[in-house]
């Protein structure tokens, strides 16, 4: 949701946020990484102070990636779901955690496929 709100504030579609983030430098913008309200406030303040939209997009992706520091991540890292298609996010995870992130083809559907397999009884819930 935070990345969707970021895209909206930047006046771009969610599918444009990733390419925009790849052009930016997250170090140019300070963004709160644990609270969506403070994160949006940081975003608005940064834009009001003249931050470049691409830097804000990169900082937003980096902010989301920072939350993964709280868990034990082991390679290989597969990123699935809709957010995996926001190119700036896998890049931020790679940089921050120093791991290789793999985004499989059709990654946005993997959760739905797994749910369908469970619901159909094809695989059993453990």
Give the domains, in start order, of the chain with CATH numbers. 2-120 (3.30.420.40)
Whether 43 has a pLDDT exceeding 90, the answer reads no
Burial of 55 (0-12, 13-18, 19+ CB in 10 A): buried
Q: How many residues does the chain have?
A: 126
pTM over 0.85: no
Whether 67 has a pLDDT exceeding 90, the answer reads no
Q: Supply φ then ψ for residue 77, to 5 degrees.
A: -105, 120
For the chain, the distance separating the N- and C-terminal CA atoms, rounded to the nearest angstrom, is: 29
Dmax over Cα atoms in the chain, in whole Å?
54
Question: What is the residue-averaged pLDDT of the chain?
Answer: 88
- Cis previous bond, 76, omega within 30: yes
- Would you state the pLDDT for residue 33? 64
3-state secondary structure 38-107: HHHHHHHHHHHCCCCHHHHHHHHHHHHHHHHHHCCCCCCEECCCHHHHCCHHHHHHHHHHCCCEECCCCH
- Would you state the pLDDT for residue 8? 92
């Amino acid at each position: 949701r935070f990345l969707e709100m970021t895209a909206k504030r930047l006046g771009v579609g969610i599918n444009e946020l990733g390419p925009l983030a790849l052009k930016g430098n997250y170090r140019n913008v300070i963004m709160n990484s644990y609270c969506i309200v403070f994160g949006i406030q940081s975003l608005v303040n940064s834009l009001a102070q003249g931050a470049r939209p691409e830097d804000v997009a990169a900082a937003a992706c980096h902010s989301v990636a920072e939350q993964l520091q709280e868990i034990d991540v082991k390679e290989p890292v597969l990123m699935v779901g809709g957010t995996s298609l926001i190119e700036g996010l896998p890049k931020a995870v790679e940089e921050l955690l120093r791991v290789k992130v793999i985004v499989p083809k059709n990654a946005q559907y993997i959760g739905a496929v797994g749910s369908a397999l469970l619901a159909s009884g094809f695989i059993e819930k453990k």
